[in-house]
C-alpha cells in the first residue's frame, strides 16, 4: 500500500487478483489490472505508481488512473525484487532476495533498468554489510535509504551511494518480522510495521516508531 498527496488517494496492491485498487479521499474506488503479481508500490516525482512484480523481475509504471506508461525488466541477477523507489534523477533503488536466494541486496539501477550502478549487500548473513530478505525501502529528500530486513529484524540506513551508515532499528526493538516502512520526512519519524508470524500465518502486529 502507498499513498499520493498530489492525487489525494491510496493505492493497494492485490497479489492474488493481480491488480491495484485506487481509493480517492472522497471515497471513489477504482481498480486496474497489473497482469502480474504485484508486491511493492511507490509513487514517483511525476505522481505515477511504480509496481514491483517479483516473479517476472519487472517494475511497471502506471498513471494514477491505471494507464501503463512503461515496463522495465531488471538485470538478470536481481532475483525476487520486493520494492522499488525512483530517485530524483530517475534511477531506481531496489531491494531483492528471497529466503532461498543466494544474493540479498539493495541496488541502484540505471534509468533504463538495464544496469546496476551501485549496490549494498551480497550473500545473505548477519554482518552489517549483509541482509536476509531486505523487504521494503524508504528514501528521504536527500536520497538516504532506509532498508528493513525481515529475518535479521533490523533497519539499516544507507547513504545516497548505498554505503553503510548505521542501524536505525535493532532486533531488541523489532521482536517479530518487520516488513514495511513509512518515512514522515517533515516530522523525521520512521514507522515500521512489525508482525508476528506463528504456525504459518500472521497472528499479531504493531507499529514501532523511530526518530530519525
- What is the per-residue pLDDT for 116? 95
136: burial class by Cβ within 10 Å (0-12, 13-18, 19+)? Answer: buried
DSSP string, 117-129: EEEEEEE--SSTT
- Tell me the pLDDT band of 197, cut-offs 50, 70 and 90: confident
185, β-bridge pairs? none
- Tell me the pLDDT band of 128, cut-offs 50, 70 and 90: confident
- What is the per-residue pLDDT for 189? 95
- Cβ partners under 8 Å of residue 25, min gap 6: 8, 9
- Tell me the pLDDT band of 109, cut-offs 50, 70 and 90: very high
- What is the per-residue pLDDT for 58? 96
- What is the per-residue pLDDT for 178? 93
Whether the pLDDT of residue 10 is over 80: the answer is yes
- What is the per-residue pLDDT for 94? 97
Which strands sit side by side in the sheet containing 2-4, from one edge to the other?
2-4, 9-14, 19-24, 29-33
Stretch 180-206: mean pLDDT? 91
- The predicted-structure confidence for 138-181, as pLDDT tens digits, reads as follows 999 999 999 999 999 999 999 999 999 999 988 899 999 999 99
Stretch 4-23: mean pLDDT? 96
- What are the structural domains of the chain? 2-173 (2.130.10.10)
- The predicted-structure confidence for 34-85, as pLDDT tens digits, reads as follows 999 999 999 999 999 999 999 999 999 999 999 999 999 999 999 999 999 9
94, β-bridge pairs? 84, 107
- What is the per-residue pLDDT for 176? 93
Amino acid at each position: 500500500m502507498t499513498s499520493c498527496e498530489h492525487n489525494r488517494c491510496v493505492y493497494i496492491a492485490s497479489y492474488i487478483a493481480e491488480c491495484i485498487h485506487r481509493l480517492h479521499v472522497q471515497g471513489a474506488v477504482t481498480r486496474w489490472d497489473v497482469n502480474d503479481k504485484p508486491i511493492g508500490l511507490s509513487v514517483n516525482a511525476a505522481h505515477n505508481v511504480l509496481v514491483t512484480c517479483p516473479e517476472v523481475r519487472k517494475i511497471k509504471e502506471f498513471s494514477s488512473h491505471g494507464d501503463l506508461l512503461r515496463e522495465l525488466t531488471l538485470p538478470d541477477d536481481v532475483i525476487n525484487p520486493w520494492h522499488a523507489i525512483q530517485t530524483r534523477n530517475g534511477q531506481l533503488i531496489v531491494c531483492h532476495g528471497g529466503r532461498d536466494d543466494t544474493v540479498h541486496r539493495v541496488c541502484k539501477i540505471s534509468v533504463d533498468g538495464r544496469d546496476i550502478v551501485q549496490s549494498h549487500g551480497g550473500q545473505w548473513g548477519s554482518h552489517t554489510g549483509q541482509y536476509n530478505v531486505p523487504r521494503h525501502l524508504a528514501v528521504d529528500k536527500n536520497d538516504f535509504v532506509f532498508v528493513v530486513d525481515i529475518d535479521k529484524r533490523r533497519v539499516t540506513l544507507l547513504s545516497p551511494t548505498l554505503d553503510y551508515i548505521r542501524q536505525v532499528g535493532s532486533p531488541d526493538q523489532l521482536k517479530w518480522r518487520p516488513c514495511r516502512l513509512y518515512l514522515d520526512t517533515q516530522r523525521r519519524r520512521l514507522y515500521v510495521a512489525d508482525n508476528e508470524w506463528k504456525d504459518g500465518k500472521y497472528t499479531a502486529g504493531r507499529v514501532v516508531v523511530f526518530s530519525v
